[in-house]
Homo-oligomer: A and B are copies of this chain.
């Protein structure tokens, strides 16, 4: 198992991971408190929280206190714009963040790390005689449309490109740079001497939005706001380093001594099996937000790794809409291994109805009942995702570049609800 901001691979043991990282499991009592806050706005706990998809945290109890007492907080999440097509896995932190914003009524900042992606994946274009930095700036605009389509509260959401917003961040970036030695950065992020110097400079730039003073205009000079970061757990190393030096960046009056709080998600598994995390680079391992109905159907029916069992204990992977009677019979006899069944795992992320999910879990897992076998579960997932993606596309396609510019304008956000 390898989990760091640049690599996630192997079978993930989440208990070991939070042990190694030093974060804390989300407890029922914390979830109760968050649920109570949500209920005041007529909402119930998000399925990601009901189902342990967001499972770990740092200092969430202090964030809940800030929310309960009206002390004030904001949310921070981000995206590295390395490809125009975002996939379902990319949606996870944004859907969680959207829910948190609505449940807590708070401002949100979304960092688009065009500089990071350029420093790691950019190239010098000999023909053009220039680096391709502008390509990542263009991807930022395209990705921002997908983010906006998630349905944030525009008056309380500031999306920014690092390249464009650096002028505002730079005083805090200098202070963070000053607080971190090269050795510390290397230990946390694994740079080598042959890495470009921007790579060791970058962690401070991802750290800066953890401090409300980075957003003097958007957050209205509220240096004492607490910060909550929803992210996949592979991003935790950035914020461990940030938390270690936070007391030097935030004012003494800050309720968390400057430390950003975090809630961590598990990884959204690739279609081929519940290992690592979904990647944009293998087209067949992911459902993209640009995929059409037929593509979604083909990818899931053909590539989703199944926990249903066939003759000799072999698992069913390729499935057409109609399974043979014999296979269906065997699946009922043997039951499915739900831990490795990607279609079932994905339904846990995206199927809102707890009752339906429970009945799939019970019947498909045990082989009982007549309906739920590999083909049926996949079909259910296809329908769910076709709906989700079509809905997303409808919201995304109406967004113009001018709309994006208005979300990315440096402006004072509305105060917390």
Cβ–Cβ contact B167 & A168, under 8 A? yes
Would you give the shortest CB distance from A47 to chain B, in whole angstroms?
A: 39
Residues of B within 8 A of A311 (CB): none
Cβ–Cβ contact B175 & A196, under 8 A? no
Task: Give the bracket for the number of chain A residues in contact with chain B.
Answer: 35 or more
Report the stretch among A118-126, A272-280, A326-334, A393-401 that lies at the interface. A118-126
Given A179-B196, A180-B196, A196-B181, CB of A130 within 8 Å of CB of B201? no
Cβ–Cβ contact A133 & B175, under 8 A? yes
Report the stretch among A21-29, A61-69, A92-100, A183-191 that lies at the interface. A183-191
Bound: A115/B173 CA distance, A: 10
Cβ–Cβ contact A185 & B197, under 8 A? yes
Please pick, from B124, B130, B133, B248, the residue contacting A251 in the complex, using a CB distance under 8 A: B130
Cβ–Cβ contact A197 & B181, under 8 A? yes
Cβ–Cβ contact B182 & A201, under 8 A? no
Please pick, from B129, B133, B179, the residue contacting A171 in the complex, using a CB distance under 8 A: B133
Given A193-B181, A194-B182, CB of A133 within 8 Å of CB of B174? yes
Please pick, from B122, B163, B177, the residue contacting A178 in the complex, using a CB distance under 8 A: B122
Residues of B within 8 A of A194 (CB): 181-183
Would you give the shortest CB distance from A302 to chain B, in whole angstroms?
A: 39
Please pick, from B164, B174, B180, B186, the residue contacting A163 in the complex, using a CB distance under 8 A: B174
Could you give, for residues 285-304 of chain A, a 1 whenever the CB lies within 8 Å of some chain B CB and a 0 otherwise? 00000000000000000000
Cβ–Cβ contact B191 & A119, under 8 A? no
Cβ–Cβ contact B201 & A180, under 8 A? no
Which A108-165 residues have a C-beta within 8 angstroms of B?
A: 115, 118-119, 122, 124, 129-131, 133, 163-165
Cβ–Cβ contact B193 & A177, under 8 A? no
Task: Please tell me if A252 contacts chain B, counting CB pairs below 8 Å.
Answer: yes
Cβ–Cβ contact B174 & A197, under 8 A? no
Task: Please tell me if A198 contacts chain B, counting CB pairs below 8 Å.
Answer: yes
Residues of B within 8 A of A165 (CB): 167
Given A129-B252, A133-B171, A248-B124, CB of A177 within 8 Å of CB of B197? yes
Could you give, for residues 246-269 of chain A, a 1 whenever the CB lies within 8 Å of some chain B CB and a 0 otherwise? 001001100000000000000000
Please pick, from B133, B182, B196, the residue contacting A196 in the complex, using a CB distance under 8 A: B182
Residues of B within 8 A of A163 (CB): 170-171, 174
Bound: A292/B193 CA distance, A: 50
Task: Please tell me if A221 contacts chain B, counting CB pairs below 8 Å.
Answer: no
Residues of B within 8 A of A198 (CB): 174, 177-178, 201, 204
Task: Please tell me if A200 contacts chain B, counting CB pairs below 8 Å.
Answer: yes
**A122 — nearest CB in chain B belongs to which residue?**
B178
Task: Please tell me if A195 contacts chain B, counting CB pairs below 8 Å.
Answer: yes
Would you give the shortest CB distance from A119 to chain B, in whole angstroms?
A: 6
Task: Please tell me if A362 contacts chain B, counting CB pairs below 8 Å.
Answer: no
For the complex of A and B, the 4 pairs showing the least CB-CB separation, nearest first, are A167-B167, A177-B198, A201-B201, A183-B193
Q: Which residues of A contact B (CB under 8 A)?
A: 115, 118-119, 122, 124, 129-131, 133, 163-168, 170-171, 174-175, 177-183, 185-186, 191-201, 203-204, 248, 251-252
